Amino acid sequence: MILGGGLTLLMIVALGRELFDSGLAGLSRALPANPLFYIVFVLYYLGPPSFDYVIFRRLWQIPLAGMAALHKKRISNEVLVGYSGEAYFYAWARQRTQMVAAPFGAVKDVTILSAIAGNAVTLTMVLLALPFGMGLLSHDQQNWVLGSIGILIATSLPFMIFSKRVFSLPRASLWWIFGVHCARILTGSLLISLAWHFAMPQVSVAVWLLMAAGRLLVWRLPLVPNKELAFAAISGVVIGQGQSLSELMALIAALTLLAHVTLIGGFSIHALITRNKQ
């Protein structure tokens, strides 16, 4: 938690510098004028917990109130350290034994399948993007991408080889969960690409495809808190598409962080009011 919090603060500093380097005028220049950008961003932000709800609704029949726990799981993973949210959600499920008697197996399977689906979709998108965007990368960056592809394959193979010993849920459920995770990742990539397009329609589709693939690569890196902040901090260096692109990445990261803070504040106030009523 200390490591994750420290790294998050450092990235917030980098994000603030990116957004306010030109003062308030620079920040206002970074705000897209197209209202479709903000509509798509809201859909993009609500996507991951919504797909998780679909999965656990089928597995456990969790009520709509479980969406709050799934939002907290997502925020914990992104702001603290990866998979800390799964620990929180497991504890939340353990407190509701009337809903699910043994939650560990399901949480474990869903988490592993999320990682495998992320690796599979990332690998596919990277392979599709490389012919269009390989020329934008330096020789060292190309080696980094190729090395990352090797890591994605290596980290997925053991779970596939020893699947009978690793997974607890029936095979049909596993394939269904894998499909939902793939749909979540593809939907998120499509929505963020649309948001980029509405903010900067003058940028070519090839660049957006490379950006989406590169963002997925960053998202798969372990032990990196708040992937949006990390991507905003390095996008200008890795992609090299100019100040306006870097400002847009920083803006999306800031909006994501603002949404996290708003939700956590709302959940805390709701919990306090509920406790006082009791």
Q: Give residue 19's pLDDT.
A: 54
Residue ranges of the chain whose pLDDT lies below 70 = 1-30, 81, 97, 101, 129, 132-138, 141, 205-206, 221-246, 277-278
In a domain, 30, yes or no: no
pTM over 0.75: yes
Supply the range of the domain harboring residue 133.
Answer: 2-19+36-94+103-277
Q: What is the pLDDT of residues 152-176, one digit of tens each?
A: 888 888 988 888 899 999 999 999 9
Q: Is residue 149 part of a domain?
A: yes
Residue 31 covered by a domain = no
Tokens 């306006």 belong to 244
* Domain-embedded: residue 53: yes
The total domain count for the chain is 1
38, two tokens? 């903000």
Distance CA 202, CA 159 (A): 42
Instruction: Identify whether 28 is part of a domain.
Output: no
Residue 131 lies in a domain: yes
Phi, psi (rounded to 5 degrees) for 222 = -75, 155
Question: Is residue 209 a part of any domain in this protein?
Answer: yes
Give 260-265 contacts, CB < 8 A, sequence gap 24+.
260/75, 260/78, 260/79, 263/71, 263/75, 264/72, 264/75
The one-character DSSP state at 62 is -
In a domain, 155, yes or no: yes
